[in-house]
Amino acid sequence: MDTPGSEHIVSLEKFSIGHQQDQILLSDINLTVGSGEMVALIGRNGTGKSTLLKSMIGLLPFLGGACHLNGKLIARYDLPSRARLVSFVSSQISQLPSLTVGEMVALGRLPYTGWMGRMDQSDHALVDQALEEVQMASFAGRKLDMLSDGERQRAMIARAFAQDTRLMVLDEPTAFLDIPNTFDLIRLLSRFRDGGKSIVYSTHDLETAMQFADKMWVIHEGKIFEGAPEDLGLSGLFDDLFQSSGISYDQQSGRFLLKGPSQGSVRLEGKEDQAKAWTVSALYRLGYKVDSQGSIKISIQPSSAGYQWIVEKDGDNLSFSSLYKMARFLIQGN
Partner 1 sequence: MYFMGLLLIILALIDLRLGSIRISLGEMLGQLWGREMLSDQQMIILTKFRLPRLATALLAGAALPVCGLQMQTLFRNPLAGPYVLGISSGASFGAALVVLGAGATGIAATWSLALAAWIGAGTVMLLLLFVSYRIKDVMTILILGIMFSSGLAAVISIMQYFSQASALKSFVIWSMGSLGNVTASQLSIMTWAISPVLLITLAYSKVLNGLMLGEEYAASMGIRIERTRIIIFATTSILAGTITAFCGPIGFIGIAVPHMSRFLFKRSDHRILMPATMLTGMVVMVFSDIVSQLPGTDRILPINAVTSLIGIPVVIWLVIMNRKAQAL
Residues that bind partner 1 (CB under 8 A): 54, 57-59, 79-84, 86-88, 90, 93-99, 103-104, 107-108, 110-111, 113, 115-117, 143, 145, 163
Closest CA to 139 of 124, 120, 154, 126: 154
Question: In this structure, are residues 189 and 38 in contact, taking their beta carbons and an 8 Å threshold?
Answer: yes
Closest CA to 217 of 26, 19, 18: 26
The nearer residue to partner 1, 86 or 330, going by C-beta atoms, is 86
The nearer residue to partner 1, 34 or 111, going by C-beta atoms, is 111
As a whole number of Å, the CA-based R_g of the chain is 25
Q: How far apart are CB 114 and partner 1 at their closest, in Å? A: 8
The nearer residue to partner 1, 107 or 257, going by C-beta atoms, is 107
Helix boundaries (H) for 213-298: 229-234, 237-242, 274-286
Q: How far apart are CB 87 and partner 1 at their closest, in Å? A: 6
Question: In this structure, are residues 283 and 291 in contact, taking their beta carbons and an 8 Å threshold?
Answer: no
Nearby residues of 224 by Cβ (< 8 Å), 6 or more positions away: 26, 29, 31, 43, 52, 217, 218
The nearer residue to partner 1, 87 or 202, going by C-beta atoms, is 87
The nearer residue to partner 1, 99 or 310, going by C-beta atoms, is 99
d(CA 110, CA 80): 9
The nearer residue to partner 1, 115 or 316, going by C-beta atoms, is 115
Q: How far apart are CB 147 and partner 1 at their closest, in Å? A: 12
Nearby residues of 124 by Cβ (< 8 Å), 6 or more positions away: none
Q: How far apart are CB 44 and partner 1 at their closest, in Å? A: 23
Q: How far apart are CB 83 and partner 1 at their closest, in Å? A: 3
